[in-house]
Amino acid sequence: MNELIAQSIRRSVWHGWGDPSARRPLSDQGWEELVRQVGADRTVVNPPVPIEEVQLQPSRLDSPVLAALADVVGPDHVHADRPWRVEHAGGKSYPDLHRLRTGDGSQAPDAVVVPGSAAQVAEVLRLCAEHRVAVVPFGGGTSVVGGVGAGAEVSGPDGVSARGRHRAVITLDLRRLTRVVAVDPTSRLATLEAGLRGPEIEQALHPHGLTLGHYPQSHQEATFGGYVATRSAGQASTGYGRVDEIVLGARVVTPRGELVLGGRAPASAAGPRLLDLVVGSEGTLGVITEATVRVAPLPTVKRHAAWFFPTFDAATEALRTLVHSVGHGGMPDVCRLSDEDETRVNLTLAGAAGRRLLRYAALRGTAAPSLLVLVWEGTDGGEVRHRRAVAGRILSRCGGRRLPGEVARAWERTRFSGPYLRDELMDHRVLAETLETATTWDNLRSLHAAVTTAIRSALEVEGRRAIVMCHVSHVYAAGASLYYTFISTEAADPLAQWRSVKTAACDAIVGAGGTITHHHAVGTDHRAYLAAEIGPLGVGLLQAVKDQLDPAGILNPGKLIPDPPGSAPDSAPDRVRDRVRDAARAEA
Ligand SMILES: Cc1cc2nc3c(=O)[nH]c(=O)nc-3n(C[C@H](O)[C@H](O)[C@H](O)COP(=O)(O)OP(=O)(O)OC[C@H]3O[C@@H](n4cnc5c(N)ncnc54)[C@H](O)[C@@H]3O)c2cc1C
C-alpha cells in the first residue's frame, strides 16, 4: 500500500523531470485533444540542445578559493565542471527548463559544493562571506519559482545584479546530509537531516511504523530541508498538515553562527516562535541542516471515494459544509476538487473509462461536472469507515453524486507522473505551467473567476487557444487553495509569453485578495509581489533579520525579499506597486 511513496527515482535530468525512461507518453487520444483544444502540432519537434551546447560563462571562482573550499569538504565534493554547473542552473519551472533546453546557462553557479556535515556548512559559509561569494542552498532543485538559480549576470535598474555584487556564486548542494538523527515513536517525532529526499524519509520511517505523510507531487525528488525552506504542502496535507504545521524544531547554520530553534517541547510561550522565521526562508537567512517534525502512524487502512457535482461552485460549497461539519481532523486526508475545465480535460485524457464518466454525468443532466477525489488513511478500519460515511452523507446532501472509488485510486496510481508529461509537451513547443494561490471561503469563487480570466486573456492572443484549469488542492476551516494548470502553444518568444501570463495571474491574485503563493514559495518569480502581501514594514523586518544573520548578504541573493523601494525591478504591475505605496503611506 505504501510502495509508491517509498520508491526512490534517479535524480532529474538537467533539462526536465526525473528518469526519462519512466516517461509514459501521452496517448494518441490525448494528442488529439491537444490538437483540438489548443492547436498543438505533434509533428513539431523541439528537443533540448546537447549539454555541450549550453552556454556557460567561465567559472569566476579563483583557484585559492576553490582550494580552500576543497579543504573544507574534500576535493571530491567541489565541482566546477560542466555537468554539475548545468544541473544546478535552475529549478523545474517552465522558464528555468526553457532556458536550459535552449542552451542558456546564464543561471549556472560558478561551482557546486557538497558539504557532508553541518560543521562543513558553517565553514563554507564563513569562507564565502570572507571572499564575497554568494551561496545558493540547493535541496532537490525542484523549485518552480526561480528559487535556486544563481542569478543572471545583469538585472535591476542600477545595472548591478545580485550576482554582480559578489565575486562568484556557489550552489551548496545538501545531498550528503542524509542522517536520520533520531526517531522517537513515543512522542511521534523524527529529527532528520535536510538532504533526505521524500522516498528516503519514508524508507527511514516505515520500519518504525511511522510516516511523514508529506507527499508533494515532487516528493520523489524534493528534500526534507527544501520542504521546510519553502513551507511546502503535500497532496495529503489536508489530513497530515502542511510542513509548517508539523515542524517543531530546526538547526540552521547562518553566517553569524548556528540557530537551534524549538524541538524541546510540543508547545512553548518563550517569546515569538523564531522557528517560523526560518520555515519558508528559502535559503536567504541560513542553511537548514536538520529539523524535527511530528510524524504519524503508517496507515494500514485506506479508503477512496469520488464524487461528481453539477458545478464547481456547488462543489466548493459542499467542501466548506464538510469541513465546518466534521472539523479539520475529520476531513479526508486527500481532498482534490477539479473545476469543470480540469474535470473535462482529465477525464478526456484518461481514455475510455474517463469518457464514460462524462457521458454518465451528461445523462444525469450535468453537462460540465466538477470531480472531487477523496482519500482517507488510518490504522483503524472502523474510524476510517466512519469518517468516510459521515463525509458521504454530507456530500450527498450537498448535491454530490457518488462515483466508483476506482476513480480516486486511478488518480493515486499516477500521483507522481504528471511532471513527465510537461517534458513531452515542451518537446513539441507546447507551454505548460502551474501556479497556485489560496483564499478564504467567502472569496474563493471570485478569486477563481478572476485568475482564470486573467490567465486565459493573457494566453489567448494572436489567435492562440488555451486550456486553463484549476483544482482545490487543500481544504482548511477558513478557506482553500486553488491550483492552476495552463497549456497553450508556444509563442515566438516563449519566455515573454510566460512572463505576460504570470504577471496577469499574479496581478489578478493580488487584486482579488488571494495569497501570492499557497505552497510554491516566493523565489524570484513572486518577489515583486511580496510587499503587497506583507507591507513595506514587513519587508523591512525580513531584511533586518537577514542583515542580522547574513550581514554580507551572501545567502541566496535575489530571492524572497524584495529590493528596497525605488530599486525594485520593474516587474510588478502598476496596480501592485500602487498598493504597496498606499500601504507604506498608511504605515507612515
Ligand atoms: C513537478 C513538481 C511538483 C511540485 N509539487 C509541489 C507540491 O505538491 N507541493 C509543494 O509544496 N511544492 C511542490 N513543488 C515545488 C517544490 O517541489 C517544493 O517547493 C519543494 O519543497 C522544494 O524542495 P527542494 O528540496 O527541491 O528544494 P529546492 O528546489 O532545492 O530549493 C527550494 C528553495 O529552498 C531553499 N533550500 C533548499 N534546501 C534548503 C536548506 N536545507 N536550507 C535552506 N534553504 C534551502 C533553496 O535555496 C530554494 O530557495 C513542486 C515542484 C515540481 C517541479
Q: How far is the CA of 450 from the centre of ligand 1 (A)?
A: 27
Other residues' Cβ atoms within 10 Å of the Cβ of residue 492? 7
User: Is residue 577 over pLDDT 90?
Assistant: no
pLDDT digits (tens, 9 = 90+) for 30-66: 999 999 999 999 999 999 999 999 999 999 999 999 9
Task: Please report which confidence band the pLDDT of residue 569 belongs to, taking 50, 70 and 90 as the band edges.
Answer: very low
Q: How far is the CA of 381 from the centre of ligand 1 (A)?
A: 34
Model pLDDT, residue 486: 98
pLDDT digits (tens, 9 = 90+) for 262-281: 988 999 999 999 999 999 99
pLDDT digits (tens, 9 = 90+) for 327-350: 988 999 999 999 999 999 999 988
Pocket flag, ligand 1, residue 519 (CB < 6 Å): yes
Pocket flag, ligand 1, residue 137 (CB < 6 Å): yes
Q: Kind of pairing, strands 111-113 and 296-297?
A: unpaired
Q: How far is the CA of 118 from the centre of ligand 1 (A)?
A: 20
Pocket flag, ligand 1, residue 91 (CB < 6 Å): yes
ipTM, interface predicted TM-score of the complex: 0.99
Pocket flag, ligand 1, residue 372 (CB < 6 Å): no
Return the best residue to mutate from 94, 142, 223, 281 for the ligand 1 pocket (most ligand atoms within 8 A of CB). Answer: 142
User: Is residue 568 over pLDDT 50?
Assistant: no
Pocket flag, ligand 1, residue 163 (CB < 6 Å): no
Return the best residue to mutate from 230, 282, 561 for the ligand 1 pocket (most ligand atoms within 8 A of CB). Answer: 230
Pocket flag, ligand 1, residue 143 (CB < 6 Å): yes
Other residues' Cβ atoms within 10 Å of the Cβ of residue 37? 17
Report the distance separating Cα 66 and Cα 64, nearest Å. Answer: 5
- In this prediction, residues 5-27 reach a mean pLDDT of 89
- In this prediction, residues 376-380 reach a mean pLDDT of 97
Model pLDDT, residue 565: 67
Q: Name the residue among 554, 558, 547, 519 with its Cα closest to residue 227.
A: 519
Q: How far is the CA of 193 from the centre of ligand 1 (A)?
A: 15
Model pLDDT, residue 349: 86
N-to-C CA span, the chain: 57
Return the best residue to mutate from 5, 23, 173, 218 for the ligand 1 pocket (most ligand atoms within 8 A of CB). Answer: 218
pLDDT digits (tens, 9 = 90+) for 230-244: 999 999 999 999 999
Other residues' Cβ atoms within 10 Å of the Cβ of residue 374? 27
Contact in structure between 506 and 514 (CB atoms under 8 Å) = no
Q: How far is the CA of 232 from the centre of ligand 1 (A)?
A: 7
User: Is residue 154 over pLDDT 80?
Assistant: no
Task: Please report which confidence band the pLDDT of residue 24 belongs to, taking 50, 70 and 90 as the band edges.
Answer: confident
- Taking CA atoms only, the protein residue closest to ligand 1 atom 22 is 226
Give the three-class secondary structure for 157.
coil
Cα 507 to the center of its chain, rounded Å: 20
CA dihedral 441, 443, 448, 454 (to 10 degrees): -160
Model pLDDT, residue 185: 97
Task: Please report which confidence band the pLDDT of residue 164 belongs to, taking 50, 70 and 90 as the band edges.
Answer: low
Contact in structure between 451 and 443 (CB atoms under 8 Å) = no
Q: Which residues contact 51 (CB under 8 A, 6 or more apart)?
A: 14, 82, 83, 86
Q: Kind of pairing, strands 466-472 and 479-489?
A: antiparallel
Long-range contacts, stretch 311-314, CB < 8 angstroms, 24+ apart: 311/340, 311/368, 311/370, 312/337, 312/339, 312/340, 312/370, 312/448, 313/445, 314/370, 314/398, 314/399
Residue 421 C-alpha cell reads as 508529461
Give the three-class secondary structure for 399.
coil
Pocket flag, ligand 1, residue 229 (CB < 6 Å): yes
Pocket flag, ligand 1, residue 147 (CB < 6 Å): yes
Atom of ligand 1 nearest to the CA of 282: 49
pLDDT digits (tens, 9 = 90+) for 470-507: 999 999 999 999 999 999 999 999 999 999 999 999 99
- 160: β partners: none
Average per-residue pLDDT for the chain: 93
Helical pair 494-511 and 574-587, crossing angle rounded to 10 deg: 40
Task: Please report which confidence band the pLDDT of residue 571 belongs to, taking 50, 70 and 90 as the band edges.
Answer: very low
Sign of CA dihedral 127, 130, 131, 133: positive
Task: Please report which confidence band the pLDDT of residue 23 belongs to, taking 50, 70 and 90 as the band edges.
Answer: confident
Other residues' Cβ atoms within 10 Å of the Cβ of residue 433? 21
pLDDT above 70 covers a percentage of the chain that reads 93
Q: How far is the CA of 292 from the centre of ligand 1 (A)?
A: 18
pLDDT digits (tens, 9 = 90+) for 398-446: 999 999 999 999 999 989 988 999 999 999 999 999 999 999 999 999 9
Q: Which domains are assigned to the chain?
A: 48-173 (3.30.43.10), 180-297 (3.30.465.10), 301-415 (3.30.70.3450), 527-587 (no CATH)
- In this prediction, residues 16-37 reach a mean pLDDT of 89
